[in-house]
Amino acid sequence: MSFFSKLIAGGVGFVLWGPIGALLALFLESQLFASKEEHVGKRRHTATQGDFRMSLLVLLAGVMKADGEVKKSELTLVKQYLVQIFGEDDALEALQLLKQVLQKDFEVEPIAIQVGMNMNSSSKLQLVHMLYSIAHADGEVVPAEEAMIANIARLMRLSELDVNSIRAMFQTQVNKDWAYEVLEITPNASNDDVKKAYRRMAMRFHPDKVATMGEDIKQSATEKFRKINEAYETVKKERNMG
């Protein structure tokens, strides 16, 4: 089954009837699908995975266009990232869809609101992490991209503390307190508080939390989980904690 077909089969309910459905309609009009009706009878057991993928592309386009220019180098980096997430064949089709979205004035806000209403917290946090990954693909997250991601996260009803934790994962070279921010604590926290914070974060962000969304997304979640461990080890070394 192709990437597009997976979105149709997996998105009955949330994807087809909400704002994201307008994007699918765009491709139906482009005759990328022979028929929508043949998929309506599918069960929704893969809906979360399909919803996540479509939402990622729409919100990704919003971040890429945030500074008013989509560079060829950005598309190249995005393609590499999509290959890591979706695999070679699906990534090519996903990139076609992304290019179409980039050419349209597709509103990000209703998509973010829909995601906030239909996805669990772990999935939404993973989505924000992916958006930061793309924004940081050229080594820097510019203010316009930062503002776009912050707005998306707000509309998805994520807390500022959670978003700051994800952002800090991409500030290891410019923020001396990045490790503390990742763990959602301050440098004044006690050693016991550091340990408690790590256990709390490790439990919340364990890759198993998104296991139902497929191996591709679980793999990406593993990268975020690894960053939490890196932050903890950084604080332990700084404090000479055993």
Chain centroid to Cα 196, Å, comes to 26
Higher pLDDT, 76 or 156: 156
pLDDT the model gives residue 49: 55
For residues 52 and 123, the answer to whether their CB atoms sit within 8 Å is yes
What pLDDT is attached to residue 35? 41
Query: Given 1.10.760, 1.10.1740, 1.10.260, 1.10.287, which CATH number is that of 160-242?
Result: 1.10.287
pTM, entire model:
0.77
* Of 212 and 25, more confident: 212
Helices and strands (H and E) in the chain: how many: 14, 0
Is there a contact between 224 and 129 (Cβ–Cβ < 8 Å)? yes
Tokens for 176? Answer: 């001396």
Please give the pLDDT value at position 126: 82
Mean pLDDT, all residues of the chain:
78
Q: Render pLDDT for 138-181 as a digit per residue (tens, 0 to 9).
A: 888 889 999 999 999 999 999 999 999 999 999 998 899 999 99
Domain spans in the chain, listed from the N-terminal domain onward: 1-158, 160-242
pLDDT of residue 36: 40
User: Of the ranges 12-21, 95-104, 162-171, which is most confident?
Assistant: 162-171
Please report how many Cα atoms fall inside a 13 Å half-sphere around the Cα of residue 108, on the Cβ side. 23
